[in-house]
Amino acid sequence: MAVVDCHRSAARCRAAYNALMNYLAHLFLARQSGAAMLGGIMGDFVKADVTGRYPTEIAREIQLHRYIDSYTDSHPAVKASAQLFPEGRRRYAGILLDVFYDHLLSLQWQRWCDEPRQAMLDRFYVALAEHDTLLPDRLRSMAPHMVQMNWLNAYDDFASVDKAVQRISLRLSRNGAQLRDGIADLRQHYEAIAAGFEGFFPELLGFVQERRGRMVEQALRQQ
């Protein structure tokens, strides 16, 4: 099991563990097709230039995933929520907020999406199987467990947030206890963070729609 030292770099720490969190939000934002959802997840596993390496829709959503992460990190509501964590644990705020935002999205699913969550996940699981040869090795190894455990449909329960953070903390080279202690911070500031999500998430939806539209238009012009 790989470990990462998060002591010096919060950004490095968060990037290393994105593959263990915020899947649900990225799937939701790319729910228009199975290929799009696959690209939305692969953005955490593919770091190099994807031009010409994947089908158009998958490649576009991989790139859009990166824009989404950058937008999220820079959003004032997200930054304000991160400041709620004590200084010693603030470097882990990105991890904790990503997991917690999937919890909030799960609780409010019917507000944001007409399609039942499990139906969307089932479409994603089909896409995983159909595109097995395109999957990065790490995602291919995770896929059977993801499907079998169906953990992305369990975030209604805060206990699933706790379990996810516990798993992530075991992969830290040091100070895993500080990440686990962040669960108490989430509980303490639950309402404030949820209020921040209320301001952030609609704006994220607008950003994704606008940026995806620009990417599609640019691709059409280049044909």
17: confidence class by pLDDT, cuts 50, 70, 90: very low
78, amino acid identity: V
Q: Does residue 5 have a pLDDT over 50?
A: no
3-class secondary-structure state, position 188: helix
Tell me the C-alpha distance between 123 and 125, whole Å: 5
pLDDT at position 47 is 80
Digit-coded pLDDT (tens) for 26-74: 999 999 999 999 999 999 898 877 878 899 999 999 999 999 999 999 9
Q: Does residue 181 have a pLDDT over 80?
A: yes
Tell me the C-alpha distance between 141 and 135, whole Å: 9
Digit-coded pLDDT (tens) for 90-135: 988 998 999 999 999 999 999 999 999 999 999 999 999 999 999 9
172: confidence class by pLDDT, cuts 50, 70, 90: low
- Sign of the CA dihedral running 68, 69, 75, 77: positive
47, amino acid identity: K
Q: Does residue 19 have a pLDDT over 80?
A: no
